[in-house]
Amino acid sequence: MSTVKKRKTPPKKRSAAVEGNVGYGRPPKAHQFKPGTSGNPKGRPKGAKSEATILHELLQQKIGLNDRGKTRKITVHEAILRRIAEDCLKGNTKSAAFLLNRHHEMTVNEPDEAGLSEEGTTVLETYLKGLQLNPKKEDDSQ
């Protein structure tokens, strides 16, 4: 005779009505956030500034500068660049390398005056020539 192995039956689950469809992403009703309340009540307050905003405001702040006996107002950003330029003239090679690299990045990454590459310009010129050769009549479109 052969022995037949019995399958284990899985434990019975409670009915959905009793649990109220509780599971991942579905907390029990008693633990859900009430309407109008936040999940992070002590979160970022309104009007709080990001680090980028604070840095931008700090660099755009105006300070006084004595230039040949006259006081001028310049931004902190400009003052920093002026100080680096002065260090370059005094022989600081790191300042010179920084300033020249920064200048190179600014000049190389500038877009063309029209903002188009050579290919874009040729495509645009070809398109305009096509429009001039084949003007559409406004009467035909009605």
Q: Is residue 18 part of a domain?
A: no
Q: Tell me which of 131 and 29 has the higher pLDDT.
A: 29
Residue 74 domain flag: yes
Output the pLDDT for position 15.
47
Range of the domain at 78: 58-112
Helix (H) or strand (E) holding 75: strand 70-75
Nearest 5°: the CA angle 42, 46, 52 is 105
Q: Which of 43, 76, 83 is nearest to 57 (CA)?
A: 76
State how many domains the chain has.
1
pLDDT, tens digit, 9 for 90 and up, residues 110-133: 655 556 677 777 887 887 777 777
Average pLDDT, the chain: 80
Looking at residue 8, what DSSP letter applies? P
